[in-house]
Structure 1
Amino acid sequence: MKQDLESLSPFELNLYLEEQMQKTPNTKEFLNAGRGNPNWTAPIPREAFFLLGEFAVKETMLGENRQIAGMIKEDDSRSERFETFLDSKETQGARLLQSIWEKGNHLMGMPKEVWLKHMLDDVIGDNYPHPERILNASEEPIKQYLHHELFDSKSVPFDVFAVEGGTAGIVYTFNSLVNNALLNQGDTIALLIPTFAPYMEIPELPEYGFNVHYIRSELVTINGETSYQFPKEELDRLRDDAIKAVFVVNPSNPTANAIYGDSIDQLIDIVEKDNPDLMILSDDVYGTFLNQFTSLFTVLPYNTACIYSYSKYFGATGWRIGTIAVAKENIFDDRLAQLPEDEKAQLNHRYETLTSDPESIRFIDRMVADSRSVALNHAAGLSAPQQVMMTLFSLYALLDTEDVYKKEVIGICQERGKALYDSLGMRMPIKELNTAYYCEIDFEWWLKEKYEASFVDYIQTNWSMTDIVTKLAKEEQLMLLKSEAFGSSKWTVRVSLANLPTNTYREIGQRITNMVDRMYLSFK
């Protein structure tokens, strides 16, 4: 049984332990700090979504009173009905829609009357998504949101593919890189670690078979404060132009720190001087948990495909909504143009059912086609209601000029992080770089700080992190997530600071201390 548990992924181990705990009585509240699902939601844009749906249903039933309604049609008097409808609703969601209607014209990308017609049709979901890559009424608000939250005023023009969350984004990107001979089996790629555990596993699947180099961060001191960053000599490994692509979660998971300025400058230098064809895949899902964030897409837009999910920030993991952003001028299209003629011919055959000029299809549109095995490209695209929700999340953030929502979300994470760190006698990382969405506890370091060396040797000789996690679950009703599979050391665990009430995080630290204190007394 011990060997079987050691072989499980951290997520599967947690599921197993949770099942076991449900079978035994306990006197403590069960605290599952292993899950990354946030325990907050954004109610105002959700309420706006359902109000928009309510109005859309009424619009399909104009002059009708039957079980079957019609579709959204052109109507010159719709704007007046929409305004009357909003005036009748005394809710925050209605006020958001009112604000969008009155102040958001510059964010819609089209006249507001046209935008409303599109949005009503999309929220009803009675048509296939078209255009397949992203809907017309959603494209500009989503681009504006990404530009505002992740990129800066210098960001270049870019295109967006609406996808089923960040996980779909990375799968689609990897698949299309391989399908289009931009990456081939046996090619060398790099992962900046630690990183989300499944991203460690994907490149090693048989269909990819990449030669993976791991670029490892470490805890460093910057101006007297700590942060997980990449040593210069580690990042310099990317100067090897045999490395064709690099994947990074920024800010990181599970260490929760963003790449700081010196390393960003070094990456720019690496691309400009030594590895100009390096393809960068950056997952920026946690970027919105910092007041100031520098995306690699901002500084290296030509080389970078940026993946983003709305799931964490808006408490929307069940919606499965995210984006892939690619600059209008990008390395992926240029690399396609440089392929040998025989490979171009094969790819032309792959995509010839889509257009008479398949060679002109851009990489981002190839991702759309590949997401439905090309043959079903006409039925590709994220569902229209999902794109409406994504649009309303975007507009909500853009019109929140005082950053009320952002400040509250960041405040929640930082407060929870401080409670946990204080209870364990640890120092919080640099606030400006720390999302505080997760905390990684290095048990080896913590034991050495708190106990004598002989006890630390005893633990490391006779126990594993799986043993510790299992013991915490059974004795303290506390679930943590092993971090080794994320590329961290074998003595680390991840604590989610997002998914439990704030007042429990000091308790988490106390339960860890209580159990290890008992182990120490037994050892003595």
Structure 2
Amino acid sequence: MNAGRGNPDFLNTTARQAFSELTRFAAQAAGDETKAPDLGMRVETKGMAAKLKKYLDQHGQGAGAEFLKKAVDFTENQLGLNADEAAFELVDAVQGDFYPDPPRILPVTEKIVNKYLSRVLFAGNPPKGEFSLFATEGATAAMIYVFKSLRINKVLRPGDHIAIFTPIFSPYLEIPELKEYNLISIYVEGDEDQGWQLPESEVKKLEDPGVKALFLVNPTNPTSRALNKSTVERIAKLVRQKKQDLVIINDTVYATFVNEFHTLAEEIPQNTIGVYSYSKYFGVTGWRLGVVSIYQECVVDRIIQKLPAKDKKELARRYSITSTDPDKIRFMDRLEQDSRDVALAHTGGLSGPQQAIMCLFSLFELMDKEFAYKKTIMDILKKRWHALYQALELPEPKSDNLTRYYALVDLKRMANKRHGKAFSEYLAEQWPLDFLIRLAKIHSTVCLPGEGFAGPKWSLRVALANVKSADCARVGKNIVAVMDDYYKKWQKKG
């Protein structure tokens, strides 16, 4: 049983069926433009919505066709978009017959994805002002592009201090240590006794003048907790009063799995670079669908404008390849250009088919007024969560800010509760990975070490998203079995 990998075993089927219908229509529409066999021509915008609807009425099948028809009407009647332009962009994107234009993100897709993010991140009430988006190959690419562009633009320099809210997805711990970044990490540690929120003493670490940026995953991986409103407000207050130039990278991939979500972009959008991925919620880790979101007044633009003349001259030379006025290129566009080393920026961007299905997933969620899909997924995770903790014989954590996507099991605390303080102290003196090795070798159960996420040294992460409820119970029982084996050996030594 692989409870180590976070790839979900659930996925959205309706948007995939719609994508298939769209692909069939696009190929037929292109073929209608010529009589030559096996050959099609690029379609025109005018009348595209009506052509798509007619095709779906005559040839469409199942839930995908019904959804696609409703989606075309929804873009026009509910989102106020031109139906022909929306239909053409979807058709042309799914054909993949043209470079992404603009390369940052297709225009209709940007509007629709922004509406989607407004719903899942801001409960439909985003801050006033506009967010620009950059479509990327999942959150992984988004992270790499952001780190790279901040370094290139002298916003982050070798030796700078960065604050990292821990525990956290391990690449955020590892990338800063790479030679090309050489950053000094300051861990801002969540408190397990406070539901993994940040104590005041940890928030104060952000006041350090050397701290140039803050990285966080919210809701968290591996602790499955979203920051509560008061924690978000305390961080935002400190930034407004004492750290106006703090750059925040806020990864929100798990926002769709909680009932109550608060993001720093609510309070300080100008400081926050948002990273979002569709991978987990729609089961598309193989599609690689993500976006970077940047507010119209971005702190990075202000920092770049205040750079020394020598640095600005160097950057102007870099971006003069793409602009006659490189000093005025905003960070969002530098980000896209840097992702393709500037010289290839004109061929940058996420592929058309990827943007098309991203658009369909966004429309699906926007049209699901009762959150039926979300509730179904959350119910699945709740059952798995319950099965795991019941098997562990531990109290089941309950809260509206829980994703239940992962469980971080503190083995030392579990040992203390199960067999007493003396045994837990003995266990803490052993090699933590030995527990995981025994779990895998004896019980064929794979989990990851919590320490790898800067979590408690004696902890492990269980990924519930790809392990059925019955298997979650088995994972829990196997963890208990390994723990009890340690206890028996300790008793014999005593």
* TM-score bracket, shorter-length normalisation: over 0.9
Give how far 1:42 is off. Answer: 0.2
Structure 1 pair 77/228, CA: closer, same or farther in 2 (3 Å)? closer
Give how far 1:340 is off. Answer: 1.8
Partner of 2:70: 99
Partner of 1:508: 475
Residues in 1 aligned to 2:360 and 2:131: alpha-carbon distance in whole angstroms? 20
- 1:57-76 residue pairs with structure 2 within 5 A? 57-62=27-32, 64=34, 66-74=36-44, 76=46
Residues in 2 aligned to 1:481 and 1:319: alpha-carbon distance in whole angstroms? 24
- Does structure 2 retain, via aligned residues, the 8 Å contact 1:108–1:137? no
Partner of 1:3: none
- 1:203-222 residue pairs with structure 2 within 5 A? 203-221=176-194
Structure 1 pair 188/43, CA: closer, same or farther in 2 (3 Å)? same
- Does structure 1 retain, via aligned residues, the 8 Å contact 2:118–2:126? no
Further displaced range: 81-90 or 327-336 = 81-90
- 1:474-489 residue pairs with structure 2 within 5 A? 474-489=441-456
2:395 to 427, 433, 440: 427
Partner of 1:18: none
Residues in 2 aligned to 1:305 and 1:452: alpha-carbon distance in whole angstroms? 45
**Residue 117 of structure 2 is aligned to residue 143 of structure 1:** no
Structure 1 pair 336/500, CA: closer, same or farther in 2 (3 Å)? same
Partner of 1:23: none
- Does structure 1 retain, via aligned residues, the 8 Å contact 2:6–2:466? yes
Partner of 2:335: 367
- Does structure 2 retain, via aligned residues, the 8 Å contact 1:72–1:117? no
- Does structure 2 retain, via aligned residues, the 8 Å contact 1:437–1:497? yes
- 1:250-399 residue pairs with structure 2 within 5 A? 250-399=218-367
Partner of 2:485: 518
Opposite residue 149 of structure 1, the aligned amino acid is: V
Unpaired stretches in structure 1, ≥5 consecutive residues: 1-30, 222-226
- Does structure 2 retain, via aligned residues, the 8 Å contact 1:164–1:322? yes
Give how far 1:319 is off. Answer: 0.5
Describe the SS at the equivalent of 1:150. Answer: helix
Deviation digits for residues 93-146 of structure 1 (CA, Å, limit 9, x no counterpart): 111111112223156663111221121111000111110100122111101000
- Does structure 1 retain, via aligned residues, the 8 Å contact 2:226–2:402? yes
Deviation digits for residues 211-268 of structure 1 (CA, Å, limit 9, x no counterpart): 21111111124xxxxx111111111111223211110001111011011122112111
Residues in 1 aligned to 2:470 and 2:288: alpha-carbon distance in whole angstroms? 29
Structure 1 pair 277/63, CA: closer, same or farther in 2 (3 Å)? closer
Opposite residue 180 of structure 2, the aligned amino acid is: E
Further displaced range: 68-77 or 142-151 = 68-77
Partner of 1:490: 457
Residues in 2 aligned to 1:246 and 1:90: alpha-carbon distance in whole angstroms? 48
Give how far 1:486 is off. Answer: 0.7
Residues in 2 aligned to 1:182 and 1:229: alpha-carbon distance in whole angstroms? 28
- Does structure 1 retain, via aligned residues, the 8 Å contact 2:160–2:212? yes
Partner of 2:84: 113
- Does structure 2 retain, via aligned residues, the 8 Å contact 1:107–1:140? no
Partner of 1:37: 7
- Does structure 2 retain, via aligned residues, the 8 Å contact 1:240–1:275? no
Deviation digits for residues 346-374 of structure 1 (CA, Å, limit 9, x no counterpart): 11100001011111111000010000111
Structure 1 pair 337/75, CA: closer, same or farther in 2 (3 Å)? closer
- Does structure 2 retain, via aligned residues, the 8 Å contact 1:46–1:93? yes
Opposite residue 203 of structure 1, the aligned amino acid is: P
Opposite residue 151 of structure 1, the aligned amino acid is: F
Residues in 2 aligned to 1:480 and 1:336: alpha-carbon distance in whole angstroms? 43
Residues in 2 aligned to 1:418 and 1:445: alpha-carbon distance in whole angstroms? 19
Residues in 2 aligned to 1:266 and 1:63: alpha-carbon distance in whole angstroms? 60
The sequence identity of aligned pairs, in percent, is 37
Deviation digits for residues 168-222 of structure 1 (CA, Å, limit 9, x no counterpart): 111111111110111111111111111001110000111111121111111124x
1:167 to 135, 140, 145: 140
Structure 1 pair 428/244, CA: closer, same or farther in 2 (3 Å)? same
Describe the SS at the equivalent of 1:318. Answer: coil
Structure 1 pair 376/117, CA: closer, same or farther in 2 (3 Å)? same
**Residue 95 of structure 2 is aligned to residue 124 of structure 1:** yes
Unpaired stretches in structure 2, ≥5 consecutive residues: none
Partner of 2:161: 188
Describe the SS at the equivalent of 1:499. Answer: coil
- Does structure 2 retain, via aligned residues, the 8 Å contact 1:107–1:141? no
- Does structure 1 retain, via aligned residues, the 8 Å contact 2:45–2:84? no
Q: CA RMSD in A?
A: 1.6
